[in-house]
Structure 1
């Protein structure tokens, strides 16, 4: 993540958008950007409720539940009320935040099962210490893996600079920073034997 002092934000921008945790490359913001009064819009899909967040700093927060708080089919949206009613005419009515807000998110048939599953996850998070506890657990788990990587004398390599490393997903290569395909293939095969699946990631 570039140093904010190097950013060149358009002072006339209607809003500034960013993704709080980018899963492909394992990059996570550990701060809320200062956008000099512009409306801040954030995709929190992959780290939603993984740490406490001051919602008042945002104009819009959205999060696909399938990443962190449920299964596919439902998206959590938090919108500042003064931002409702500015949808472009091309925007489908079911995606208009004003329409959904005016109808308690029931303008169209809701994804009942996905909402039910999300409710169970939210209850579990609440009963296990809330967002603050999730932050602690995420740090502990990710640091365990990062420590192994950093102490492997280069056998494992994480391409992300330390201050931008994600707590949610840890990318790494084996053999070198660019990776050794044969070693990585063997690693994945052995992982499957140990019932660890889907470790390959997006490459």
Structure 2
């Protein structure tokens, strides 16, 4: 096989090579059925085993807490921005949102179309380069839920601890850092994530929720937008993205092989520490964007002295086989997304390139 790219894309993102190779081996003939898993009925026994295995394996990685259900849905996390308030934001209730950046703002924008919202905390004054302190958070009695975005892909910030919301359900968009480290699922009413960063390919969105929250959705909602529809039908109400769910199951197997979430966290910290150390020790040539205490171990954002130098960095890096280092168009700069599947060797190669680039341009 020809040399693989150093893939730092923000999403769709790198997948473990071992998973891709397993999928390749099973692509044409899955378990001697004479078919690809993409060709078989989602009502058949062979596919349903994979489907159920993926859900149970995900809960197992999170400690198998009682009373939680996994749903495999479509439409990306973006659809969840609307489904959450549609199902949970009833009359006389308010939904609280913590504004931490681009994706948190998009979630809030959708909720405003559905019902009454309020901003519980915000880091807007800091240009979203930090996570607001929620240790003394007080929520109104009529709060339906509090929504956070655990990791802001664009700005490069990440929650280091989650707020205690008492009886108010805590809901988290974990699209860009789910399973990068252990966390206590019982703190949350709902966790959701698009698969295309840490779970698998695009096409499936994972929702993990307390079962009581998934029951008795408002009757006026269209059938597909009701959580109880998908709960009652084991996420098989309509044809699921079967290949994406199969790939999620394979990625979850791979995470187990890495030492589960504690093992994955250690690998992610090693990668992030190497990259941040290079930025911080560059004498100002590279400048980290996010507040040091709130830095993401998934999306490392940084700047150079000028936009022209950043363009030169991107152009030269692409010639060397590095992909996806240009920052998001809304903020500019540079960004290395170092999700679970990005190997340490890729980050080491990036650091070596950064050191050489500084020698040539410093």
Fold match, TM over 0.5? yes
Mapped to 1, the partners of 2:317 and 2:261 lie a distance apart of 30
The correspondence of residues 26-175 of structure 1 with structure 2, limited to 5 A, is 26-89=156-219, 91-175=221-305
Q: Deviations over 1:135-162 (max 9, x none)?
A: 1111111111110111111111112111
Per the TM alignment, residue 9 of structure 1 is displaced from its structure 2 partner at its CA by 3.1
Give the alignment's Cα RMSD to 1 decimal: 1.5
Find the aligned partners of 2:272 and 2:218 in 1 and give their Cα distance: 41
Q: Output the CA distance in 1 between the equivalents of 2:325 and 2:140.
A: 39
Q: Indicate conservation of the 8 Å contact 2:135/2:163, yes or no.
A: no
CA distance in 1, matches of 2:141, 2:319: 54
State the TM-score, normalizing by the size of structure 2. Answer: 0.53
Write the distance in 2 (CA, Å) between the matches of 1:48 and 1:94: 25
2:322 to 193, 196, 200: 196
Secondary structure in structure 2 of the residue aligned to 1:171: strand
| Distance across 2 between alignment mates of 1:90 and 1:149 | 53
Max Rg structure: 2
Unpaired stretches in structure 1, ≥5 consecutive residues: none
Aligned pair count reads: 199
Measured against aligned partners, the alpha-carbon deviations of 1:88-143 in whole angstroms (never above 9, x if no partner) come to: 45643223221111111101101011111111111111111111111111111111
Q: Which structure 2 segments of 5+ residues have no match?
A: 1-130, 330-362
Q: How does 1:174-189 map to 2 (within 5 A)?
A: 174-175=304-305, 180-189=306-315
Shift of residue 87, structure 1, vs aligned partner: 3.2
